[in-house]
Every structure is written in structure tokens, then in C-alpha cells.
Amino acid sequence: MEACHRRPGTPGVGKTTLGKELASRSGLKYVNVGDLAREGQLYDGYDEEYDCPILDEDRVVDELENQMSEGGVIVDYHGCDFFPERWFHIVFVLKTDNSVLYKRLETRGYNEKKLKDNIQCEIFQILYEEALASYKEEIVHQLPSNNPEDLEDNIDQILKWIEQWVKDHSS
């Protein structure tokens, strides 16, 4: 299970889809940490078992610091325990039913081992617990992400939250 934390693979719950759509509708910036790491080669070694590079978390944080201090950024990643707590006003963890998730990952060409590990990761809700352990409970929200209706609902809800946040913080 430990590898779930370290592996920079994406579990396919819809983070990128939601993040990009939100950014386009809200005008906020969107950062995909996986892409950022790939572009800057922000890696620290290679995980042979999972056949993927290991994220250099410190360098990722350094790379994002200026942008995050300015604010207005949607950060897309499957883990969150290495980001400074002060960076985030709200944290969303997407949840997809296992049967739906399995089909999505199969479509991506994941092999049997990768499929099993990702599904296990989902079952144990590791990432949700990680979020709860890393941020104040009241800012961590779990959202369903099974179908296009869920996506629309999530976008609507989050846009409302952003609008309210801006109102509350403009004086």
C-alpha cells in the first residue's frame, strides 16, 4: 500500500477532467503536478517494482511555491501530504466505484498488477485518509465521480464555493 503514496501514476477518478473544466469556467489557474514533474524531471530515483519514476516532493514544492503564494490555483495530484498546509483553502478527494474505475483503467491499458494496486488503493480510501491527516477535517471533501452527472454536480458545487469564498474575502 505504501507504493500508492509514492507512485506518480493517476488512478483515473477524474481529477484532470474536473480540474481543467473548473479552471476554464472559474478563471483559476490549473496545475497538474504529474505533468510538472515530467517537464522539469523532478524525480528522485526510479521505482523498479512499479516501473515508474519517484517524485522528488521537495523540488515540486519549491517549483510551485511562488505560484501558490499568489493564490488562485487548482492543484491536481493523487496525493497531498507533502504540500504545505497553508497552500490550500479546500481539498477534494474524488471517489469512483470500483467497477467503474476498473473499466476506466483497463481502457488506459494498465496491466493486471497496476490495475489491482490502484483498485486496492481506492478500496482502502488511502488518499482520503491522507487528506484528512494532512488538512483540517472541515476543508476536506469527498466527491462522487462515477458519471457525467457527478462531474456536472461537482463543478456546480465547487464554482458556488469559489464564488462565496471570493465574496467573503473581498473587502
Binding ligand DAT (rule: CB under 6 A), the pick from 4, 13, 127, 162 is 13
Q: Which stretch binds ligand DAT (CB under 6 A): 9-17, 48-56, 128-136, 156-164?
A: 9-17
Does the protein bind ligand DAT through residue 22 (CB under 6 A)?
Answer: no
Which of 83, 75, 77 lies closest to 29, judged by CA?
A: 75
Q: What residues contact residue 21 under an 8 Å CB cut-off, 6+ apart?
A: 151, 155
Binding ligand DAT (rule: CB under 6 A), the pick from 7, 15, 95, 114 is 15
Cβ–Cβ < 8 Å for 13, 95? yes
Binding ligand DAT (rule: CB under 6 A), the pick from 134, 150, 153, 159 is 150
Does the protein bind ligand DAT through residue 47 (CB under 6 A)?
Answer: no
DSSP H helix total and E strand total for the chain: 8, 6
Can you state the percent helix, strand and coil of the chain, rounding each to 5? Answer: 55, 15, 25
The least CB distance from residue 53 to ligand DAT, in Å, is 17
State which residue, 24 or 164, has the beta carbon closest to ligand DAT: 24
| Residues between 57 and 116 that touch ligand DAT (CB under 6 A) | 104
Size of the site for ligand DAT (CB under 6 A): 14
Distance of CA 128 to the CA centre of its chain: 11
Does the protein bind ligand DAT through residue 148 (CB under 6 A)?
Answer: yes
Q: What is the rounded CA–CA span in Å between residue 82 and residue 75?
A: 13
